[in-house]
Structure 1
Amino acid sequence: MSHPNEAAFLKLINQHKGILYKASRIYADSTEDREDLQQEILVQLWKSYQNFKGNSEFSTWMYRVAINTAITYLKKEKQRTNNQTDTTPQFEVRQEDYNPAKDKQLEFFYTAVQELNSLEKAVIFYFMEGMSHKEIGNNLGISEGNARVKLNRTKEKIQQIIKKSGYEF
């Protein structure tokens, strides 16, 4: 897949690879699923890269693609058989600087997040990225006030799940 934009694309991806890790961490629970999902997100990003006009931040666009891909991928994943074709490019993204095992609290958090619905996962994902209520609302197509309420409820829900599992922060 030697494409004139490939170098620019990979450079941007590497600058924002934290998005990949967090998205796959939130939406998939096994290492294998996470790697598959990251690969799928990369493929979708690559496919839609030529339509990326640069009228929003690359990271904003990447979040959207990552979350949409995660949601549709997991639905498909449940019902698909392995008829994978090898025509899709394989992107290599190194993970050397990312080791969630170091942080037990983070593990408990991510375990709890698995129990959230898609919208709640998206709200938490954006929140973890430091977005304001307004930005979260914009990304999800809801009002700023609605985003604030959703976020607070989702945080409470996560705390309940963690308490129920017997983990304490």
Structure 2
Amino acid sequence: MQAQEQEREFIRRVQAHQGLLNKLVYLYADVAEDRQDLRQEILLQAWRAYPRFQGAARFSTWLYRIGLNVALTSLQRTKKHAAADLPPDADGPPAPTAPFEADDRLQYVLRRFSAVDRTLLVMTMDGYSPEEIGAALGLRPGALRTRLHRLRHRVEQLWH
């Protein structure tokens, strides 16, 4: 494939998956500037890896995997910097006091999970198969089923 054709194909595929990118950046970045940085880094890493994309998995699964790796790396860097900026007696964010709308409640619940668990839940809600989720997250089927069962139970507890 020529470079221009490859670039056009990549852009077409990415544009078709804007919703996936939006979910990733909103799940893993709280501030608009951080979301934009994360989106750019995901796209950069995806573009660099695109020549090796073989099509064995769906493009969305492949992009999820790259996005997740970039987001987790970004979170690790952010946590290191944030920990250095916290005063010694900081207990974390205050508990929310206002009633939640459904989307706000979902965001609140999802933020209570690790980044990988958050992605597992969102991919499940998006209808990805266990095989696709396992491929994106590097989990074996048995471990995936067990983890998902525990997460569903915890979501129910947090939701009510």
* TM-score range normalised by the length of the shorter chain: 0.7 to 0.9
TM-score, with normalisation over the residues of structure 1?
Answer: 0.71
Q: How many residues align?
A: 139
CA contact (8 A) 2:46 2:66 kept: yes
For residues 39-85 of structure 1, give each alpha carbon's deviation from its aligned partner in whole angstroms, at most 9, with x where no partner exists: 211111112112212232211111110111110112123446xxxxx
Matched residue, 1:86: none
Q: How far apart are 1:159 and its partner, in Å? A: 3.3
Matched residue, 2:158: 161
Structure 1 residues 52 and 141, CA gap change in structure 2 (3 angstroms): same
Q: How far apart are 1:17 and its partner, in Å? A: 1.2
Structure 1 residues 149 and 21, CA gap change in structure 2 (3 angstroms): same
How far apart are the structure 2 equivalents of 1:135 and 1:9? 21
For residues 97-142 of structure 1, give each alpha carbon's deviation from its aligned partner in whole angstroms, at most 9, with x where no partner exists: xxxxxx9312221222122112212211221220223332333333
Q: 2:121 aligns with which of 103, 119, 124?
A: 124
How far apart are the structure 2 equivalents of 1:159 and 1:34? 28
Structure holding more helix per residue: 2
Classify the secondary structure of the residue corresponding to 1:50.
helix
Structure 1 residues 78 and 143, CA gap change in structure 2 (3 angstroms): closer
Classify the secondary structure of the residue corresponding to 1:67.
helix
Q: Identity over aligned residues, as a percent? A: 34
Matched residue, 2:141: 144
| Gapped regions of structure 2 (runs ≥ 5) | 82-99
Classify the secondary structure of the residue corresponding to 1:18.
helix
| RMSD between superposed Cα atoms in Å | 2.2
